[in-house]
Amino acid sequence: MRTSGGRTTDLASENRLTGAYLVVALVALFGGVLTGLFQALEHAGLDLYPWLTPFIQSYYHGLSLHGVLNVLVWTTFFICGFLPFVTAQALGLPLKSRPLGWVTFWLMTGGLVLAAIPLVGNVATVLFTFYPPMKAHWAFYVGLTLVVVGTWLVALNLVLTHRAWRAKNPLARTPLPAFMSLVTFVLWTIASLGLAAEMLFMLIPWSLGLVGGTDALLARVLFWFTGHPIVYFWLLPAYVSWYTLVPRQAGGRLFSDPLARVSFILFLILSTPVGFHHQFTDPGIPEGWKLVHAFLTFAVFFPSLLTFFNVVASLESGARARGGKGWVAWFGKLPWGDPSLAAQVLAMLLFAFGGVGGLINASFNLNLVVHNTSWIPGHLHLTVGTAVTLTFIGITYWLVPYLSGRALWSRRLALVQVWFWFFGMAIFSNALHRLGLMGMPRRTMIGASVYLQPEWRSVLPLVGIGGTILFVSTILYFVNIGLTVVASREPAAVEVAFAEALSGPEHAPAILDRWGLWVAMAVVLVVIAYGPTLARLVSTTPLNAPGLRVW
């Protein structure tokens, strides 16, 4: 039983559901970082793969596991557990359909197991992007598709829950945490249509032998239709925490609730019609359309800057309330002793570098320097690998105690973990960025490569050192979380308390709560940005590239 918004609602079932998602997410993260360690060591010259057979049969088998477990499973399962939790808490309502909630969880977990069998069995060593004509076992595609269908059901449940709330509160603004959660899932539902089409119309029939060939470009266009906005599906839940929980953890208030809503609406509208920025170097797409997507990519930078400002101003309000002074000195007055807050502020700090790097990736012609070099994994470990992952870790530092009713086993260990991650990632990511500028390709078993350049050798050990520090950090994390659940004796004193705002929801124009308009704008932009290219590719595709197993 807990109180929320003056009402008392029993959310025990929602809490168990969140816990279930969290368990799957954490198991995936463990597999993800373990395989990451082997990759980092391989780059540093320590090839452990001969000892890892039969579990991991090659560098690329491990890399496929690494990508899928980290960015497809860990993120998705965490989000599907966390956002419904936040929504229920913020609305003070249970999920509209609890049975649907559980069916969804088991559907997603079943899909995951189905995809994991070929993946673990080395018959889906196609990396997390599974570009055809490289061909995996059909169960891999079907399993992942079931996971996506599951996310749509999560979206449905959230929409129904919001409706139930709206019926009782016809005039009020949707509470910010629920509003943001809904935007995230609506955005994802639109975005995932590309991936769903790729799976249903191309990869699944082809892997089952019903059609003879594929079209590499059409598949890539559909993949990146989803592949860019998926990063917002990962990132926005972290923003939910930064906007609605972190300000309070910092002892302050959210600076501006209306501005937060505006930036989320902009993400909803702008984050899908930009996928060609992953395909600047692809043949078959006219340069003009690539430029359109580059243009829209810069437009998404606007809500990102709004977020940066709003979140930093909120942190500052907390630090000043705690006696912080000066232009930057206030930063030291944040409650750094709270591992949840420390994790998330450090995640933001590294994310700032990730944002600058992202602008370079998006810059069309600069992209020619970095595309498919190790600069890209350097970048993505700052964004999804830290801004998202370290924030989620920070969230679990209060969420796991809250759900289990047991206090965090060791606050100090958690702080060590967080700082290890920060320094480990700084070393690791910096090294990969530099190697990328030296022309080192990504997705490559560098230690065994025939073209290893002498100048790379001086930097490669840093990949191994940074990666090892990161791995140690995650082990500390799992030990702490594990002991919290099994050994912690102290009851948890955690409350889910959302931040108040200096400028609150009552200042948000009513139009921001009008979904139809924003969804329509998003769809129109997608049709403009993708329509002509997709229509041309679909109408002319010979589907003539036969599938191959090349590993």
Partner 1 sequence: MRRGTTIYLYELAWILPSIAIPVGMLVALIVTAFGAGIHVPGDEGRVDPTKLAVTSPFDQPGVFEVGPGRYEARMVAGTWFFAPNEIRVPAGSTVTFVATSKDVVHGLFIPKVNVNVMLLPGWVARVVARFDRPGEYPFLCHEYCGIAHHTMWGKVIVEPRS
Which residues bind to Cu ion, rule: CB under 5 A? 228
Question: CA 533, 538, 542 angle in degrees (round to 5)?
Answer: 125
Q: Is the peptide bond before 54 cis (omega within 30 degrees of 0)?
A: yes
Identify the residue whose tokens are 């989803």: 226
Identify the residue whose tokens are 């906007």: 243
Q: State the nearest-atom distance from the C-beta of 433 to partner 1, in Å.
A: 15
Q: Which of residues 428-487 bind ligand HEM (CB under 6 A)?
A: 442-444, 463, 467, 470-471, 474
Buried b (16+ CB within 10 A) or exposed e, 20-47: bbbebbbebbbbbbbbbbbbbbbbbeeb
Structural contact between residues 195 and 170, judged by C-beta atoms closer than 8 angstroms: no
Out of partner 1, ligand HEM, Cu ion, none, what residue 544 binds, judged by CB under 5 to 8 A for its kind, is partner 1
Which of 152, 201, 309, 331 touches partner 1 (CB under 8 A)? 309
Residue 136 binds partner 1 (CB under 8 A): no
Residue 270 DSSP SS3: helix
Residue 535 binds partner 1 (CB under 8 A): no
Out of ligand HEM, Cu ion, partner 1, none, what residue 438 binds, judged by CB under 5 to 8 A for its kind, is partner 1
Q: State the nearest-atom distance from the C-beta of 295 to partner 1, in Å.
A: 6
CA–CA distance, 22 with 403 (Å, rounded to integer): 10
Q: What binding mask, one character per residue, do residues 127-146 give for ligand HEM by CB under 6 A, x or -? A: xx------------------
Q: State the nearest-atom distance from the C-beta of 328 to partner 1, in Å.
A: 17
Name the H helices within 363-459.
367-370, 375-382, 389-404, 411-437, 454-457
Which of 31, 36, 275, 354 touches ligand HEM (CB under 6 A)? 36
Identity (one letter) of the amino acid at 246?
V
Out of ligand HEM, partner 1, Cu ion, none, what residue 228 binds, judged by CB under 5 to 8 A for its kind, is Cu ion
C-alpha separations of 76 from 69, 132, 182, 242, 513 in Å: 10, 23, 15, 18, 26
Q: Which of residues 347-366 bind partner 1 (CB under 8 A)?
A: 359, 363-365
CA–CA distance, 9 with 3 (Å, rounded to integer): 6
Binding segment (CB under 8 A) for partner 1, from list 56-64, 139-147, 169-177, 421-429:
56-64
Buried b (16+ CB within 10 A) or exposed e, 465-503: bbbbbbbbbbbbbeebbeebeeebeeebebebebbebbe
Out of Cu ion, partner 1, ligand HEM, none, what residue 551 binds, judged by CB under 5 to 8 A for its kind, is partner 1
Which of 52, 438, 496, 519 touches partner 1 (CB under 8 A)? 438
Out of Cu ion, partner 1, ligand HEM, none, what residue 74 binds, judged by CB under 5 to 8 A for its kind, is ligand HEM
Q: State the nearest-atom distance from the C-beta of 493 to ligand HEM, in Å.
A: 29
Q: Which of residues 111-130 bind partner 1 (CB under 8 A)?
A: 127
Element (H, E) at 129: none
Out of Cu ion, partner 1, ligand HEM, none, what residue 548 binds, judged by CB under 5 to 8 A for its kind, is partner 1
CA–CA distance, 441 with 188 (Å, rounded to integer): 30
Residue 373 binds ligand HEM (CB under 6 A): no
Structural contact between residues 32 and 470, judged by C-beta atoms closer than 8 angstroms: no
Residue 381 binds ligand HEM (CB under 6 A): yes
Q: Which of residues 383-402 bind ligand HEM (CB under 6 A)?
A: 384-385, 389
C-alpha separations of 507 from 173, 240, 262, 510 in Å: 10, 19, 12, 9
Residue 139 binds partner 1 (CB under 8 A): no
Structural contact between residues 241 and 257, judged by C-beta atoms closer than 8 angstroms: no
Cross-strand bridge partners of residue 501: 254
Residue 67 binds ligand HEM (CB under 6 A): yes
Q: State the nearest-atom distance from the C-beta of 195 to ligand HEM, in Å.
A: 16
Out of partner 1, ligand HEM, Cu ion, none, what residue 347 binds, judged by CB under 5 to 8 A for its kind, is none
Residue 286 binds partner 1 (CB under 8 A): yes
CA–CA distance, 14 with 214 (Å, rounded to integer): 42
Q: Which of residues 202-261 bind partner 1 (CB under 8 A)?
A: 215-217, 220, 255-256, 259
CA–CA distance, 302 with 304 (Å, rounded to integer): 5
Structural contact between residues 264 and 350, judged by C-beta atoms closer than 8 angstroms: no
Out of ligand HEM, Cu ion, partner 1, none, what residue 513 binds, judged by CB under 5 to 8 A for its kind, is none
Q: What binding mask, one character per residue, do residues 5-34 give for ligand HEM by CB under 6 A, x or -? A: ---------------------------xx-
Out of ligand HEM, partner 1, Cu ion, none, what residue 402 binds, judged by CB under 5 to 8 A for its kind, is none
Out of ligand HEM, partner 1, Cu ion, none, what residue 471 binds, judged by CB under 5 to 8 A for its kind, is ligand HEM
Inter-helix orientation angle 176-197/229-244, to 10°: 170
Q: Which residues bind ligand HEM (CB under 6 A)?
A: 32-33, 36-37, 39-40, 43, 63, 66-67, 70-71, 74, 127-128, 374, 377, 380-381, 384-385, 389, 442-444, 463, 467, 470-471, 474
